[in-house]
């Protein structure tokens, strides 16, 4: 286990040669090949540390809940090894998060290594460490899309929950620079009782420089090592209360770019009502959670890891039709990628001479809904 880092310095600027993944027709051909034969590229959510400088009431990463002697930071070489292993196993999207990942002294080297490996690099942050220098360094080291946490539609409410005075002004300035740099910035809003008026969110987010929002579905318990939850009244909803919140999010799609697909929002309403759901979660098959101890999990919800990242290969993948939780970063993309999985399954039937099975696999209402969801978010996906 790594020795805790008590007071890490902000990440240093690391300027590395820009090695881009293949583009144009070659890139398209590789993507189509991966889609047809393997259901498309995978994604991994990778908290590179559990340390955080915020004090959010609905999160155990909370600086007042997790003692500094329990802070953990993934070692740089371990992170590089993990990235190489993931890419070899067709995981081409990596979401660097925490804790607060910008507290990791090697963040930029980790991001740069992922970019050079051929990955699309996304970052989740509370925005407190965003400066003109760090924004430019993130761009230079391969971060193409950033998610910034927003908790409410009022500045005072957000900053009180975060325990980060004046953080919104820092976010506003960072978003202006990200727009100039060509880095996609999306507000990440946890559905909580801090949002008393969803209709007020678009104007508030636009004032901060956001053009899109993704909603994180509230969590009060998790079985894995991930600490992004708490049994807090802010996120402890009755099912019908939360269904009404999903209805509010659905209505927002007419006024602002909500990244969560409409089909996924409906799927989560079915989950809450105990009704039959249409889409299997691809956690453990195409999507993974890798923690700071380099243990690989099928998702944040599961109680035991799949394996050490060093033991990961195709034999460890799990596809069992799971629908047991509502973790947005697993469930939402599963809806959009369902069509690619179906195409891959159908191609397998064709190779085996089962043409009827191939047709039945493709000609389903679920595939039409999945394709609709992907088209709905196409412009945002292209910006990753």
Whether the predicted pLDDT of 213 surpasses 90: yes
Architecture of domain 41-322 in CATH?
Answer: Alpha-Beta Barrel (3.20)
Per-residue pLDDT tens over the stretch 324-335: 999 999 999 999
Q: Of 27-36, 228-237, 275-284, 333-342, which range is least confident? A: 27-36
- Judged against a pLDDT cut of 70, whether residue 300 lies above it is answered with yes
Arithmetic mean of pLDDT, 221-248: 95
pLDDT at 176: 98
Confidence band, pLDDT 50/70/90 cuts, at residue 38? confident
Whether 15 has a pLDDT exceeding 70, the answer reads: no
pLDDT recorded at residue 6: 36
pLDDT-based confidence at 28, cuts 50/70/90? low
Which pair of tokens denotes residue 260? 């969560």
Q: Does residue 21 register a pLDDT over 90?
A: no
Question: How do residues 154-198 score in pLDDT, each as one tens digit?
Answer: 999 999 999 999 999 999 999 999 999 999 999 999 999 999 999
Q: Give the whole-number percent of the chain exceeding pLDDT 70.
A: 92
In this prediction, residue 37 has a pLDDT band, given cuts at 50, 70 and 90, of confident
User: Would you state the pLDDT for residue 26?
Assistant: 59
Can you tell me the mean pLDDT for 65-94?
Answer: 97
Asked if residue 88 has pLDDT above 70, the reply is: yes
* Per-residue pLDDT reduced to its tens digit, 345-377: 999 999 999 999 999 999 999 999 999 999 999
pTM comes to 0.91
Each residue's pLDDT tens digit, 246-289? 999 999 999 999 999 999 999 999 999 999 999 999 999 999 99
pLDDT at residue 19, rounded to an integer? 40
> What does the pLDDT read at residue 269?
97
Burial 223-249 (b: 16+ CB within 10 A, else e): ebbbbbbbebebbebeeeebbebbeeb
- For residue 378, what pLDDT is reported? 86
Considering the chain, what is the average pLDDT of its residues?
92
Residue 381: pLDDT band with limits 50, 70, 90:
confident
pLDDT at 383: 82
């Amino acid at each position: 286990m790594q020795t805790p880092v008590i007071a890490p310095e902000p990440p240093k600027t690391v300027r590395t040669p820009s090695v881009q993944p293949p583009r144009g027709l070659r890139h398209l051909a590789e993507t189509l090949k991966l889609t047809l034969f393997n259901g498309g590229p995978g994604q991994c959510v990778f908290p590179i540390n559990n340390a955080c400088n915020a004090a959010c009431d609905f999160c155990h990463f909370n600086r007042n809940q997790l003692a500094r002697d329990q802070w953990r930071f993934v070692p740089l070489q371990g992170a590089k090894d993990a990235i190489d292993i993931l890419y070899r196993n067709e995981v081409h999207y990596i979401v660097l998060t925490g804790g607060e990942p910008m507290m990791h002294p090697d963040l930029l080297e980790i991001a740069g290594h992922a970019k050079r490996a051929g990955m699309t690099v996304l970052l989740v942050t509370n925005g407190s460490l965003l400066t003109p220098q760090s924004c430019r360094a993130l761009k230079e080291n391969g971060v193409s899309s950033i998610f910034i946490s927003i908790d409410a539609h009022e500045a005072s409410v957000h900053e009180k929950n975060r325990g980060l005075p004046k953080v919104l002004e820092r976010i506003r300035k960072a978003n202006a620079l990200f727009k100039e740099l060509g880095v996609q910035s999306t507000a990440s809003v946890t559905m909580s009782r801090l949002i008393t008026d969803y209709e007020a969110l678009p104007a508030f987010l636009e004032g901060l420089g956001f053009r899109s929002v993704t909603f994180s579905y509230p969590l009060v318990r998790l079985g894995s090592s991930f600490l992004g939850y708490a049994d807090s009244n802010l996120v402890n909803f009755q099912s019908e209360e939360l269904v009404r919140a999903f209805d509010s999010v659905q209505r927002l799609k007419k006024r602002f770019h909500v990244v969560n697909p409409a089909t996924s929002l409906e799927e989560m309403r079915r989950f809450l009502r105990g009704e039959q759901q249409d889409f299997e979660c691809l956690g453990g098959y195409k999507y993974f959670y890798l923690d700071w101890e380099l243990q690989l999990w099928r998702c944040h919800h599961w109680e035991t890891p799949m394996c050490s990242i060093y033991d990961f290969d195709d034999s460890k993948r799990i596809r069992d039709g799971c629908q047991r939780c509502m973790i947005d970063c697993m469930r939402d993309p599963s809806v959009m990628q369902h069509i690619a999985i179906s195409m891959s399954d159908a191609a397998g039937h064709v190779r085996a001479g089962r043409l009827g099975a191939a047709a039945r696999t493709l000609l389903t209402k679920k595939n039409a809904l999945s394709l609709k969801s992907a088209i709905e978010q196409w412009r945002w996906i292209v910006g990753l």
